[in-house]
Amino acid sequence: MKNKLLIVDDDNDVCSFYLSVLGGDYEVKTAQDGGSALTLFVDFKPDVVILDVDMPQQTGIDVCRKMRVLTKEGPYVAIIFLSGNSSRENLVIGLSTGADDYLAKPCSLPELKARIKTNLRIKKITDELALSKKKLQEENKKLEHLTITDELTGLYTMRFFTNRLDEEYSRACRYHYDISVIMLDLDHFKQVNDTCNHIVGSYVLAQVGAKVKQQLRSEDIAARYGGDEFVILLPHTSAAGALSLATRIANSIRNSRFVLDKFKVTITASIGIHTFAGNNKMTKKDSRALIRSADELLYQAKDRGRNCIMHAGVA
């Protein structure tokens, strides 16, 4: 496949000449003004633009600036300026605008062809580097996701959770809004591992993690606290809102049958909820106190016979 050249010059004879001498080696299109050049630039997607500096209405400098904006996120396009003015000042202006090369008119055809090939090599290297950078960024995102995600449940790790809790707690104190923390523990989960096996137990934990995620908003943060215990952070959430969410999650777990191979498991959850009012002048000493309070309420729920929710209201 031939590389694409866009020739931009307000002189029709110049455009026709370049089309005739370069058309055998490249796919060439021409434009005689800035507006047409920019339209072709978008539609034709050239690899190299040969751009006359001295044009009416929009100069080559103006067109070059706009082309660089258009290629900010896309494949690199090499731009070669052509001008009858070969002064050093004009050269500096052209290159600082975003051009890759600068030739004075009239230029020899062998030199022009050599410059085109050189800039095509530069484009190829630039595109390869951009592709490598993109792949590296994607791999880094995957790695980051792995470091903050619990492999079994798909929820966040506690390290990520506590960092986000610290941030939200600080904001809640500063901007005076409610945040809630939910602690959830599966009732008699040890019996699942003992009666079935640990593979089934892991499957149940994974499914519970998925059910928790299904009920959350994008700003909510859920993590696996450890074993069969989960913790959820709800920014901008009142006591009533937290209780409503906890009830939906508990019902979703209670009404599900987890089936794997020959095993069918039903299970319930005990839940503790603590809501912190950001406008309360008697603030907690630290954000972790929210977890401790929710955990204490969770154990009260277990003491009351499990499969229930304990909520201390706003504190």
Active site residue 10: no
3-state secondary structure of 259: strand
CB of 1 closer than 8 Å to CB of 23: no
Helix (H) or strand (E) holding 314: strand 309-314
Q: Which of 304, 288, 292, 268 is nearest to 185 (CA)?
A: 268
Residue 114 CA to residue 203 CA, distance in Å, equals 64
3-state secondary structure of 274: strand
Residue 223 CA to residue 157 CA, distance in Å, equals 5
Cβ burial of 163 (10 Å; 0-12, 13-18, 19+) is: middle
**Token pair of 35, please?**
């507006």
Selected catalytic residue, list 228, 261, 295, 303: 228
Q: State the pairing for strand pair 48-52/78-83.
A: parallel
Q: Which of 205, 268, 206, 278 is nearest to 238 (CA)?
A: 278
**Token pair of 37, please?**
């050049």
CB of 150 closer than 8 Å to CB of 226: no
Contacts of 219 (CB under 8 A, 6+ apart): 235, 236
Catalytically active residues are: 228
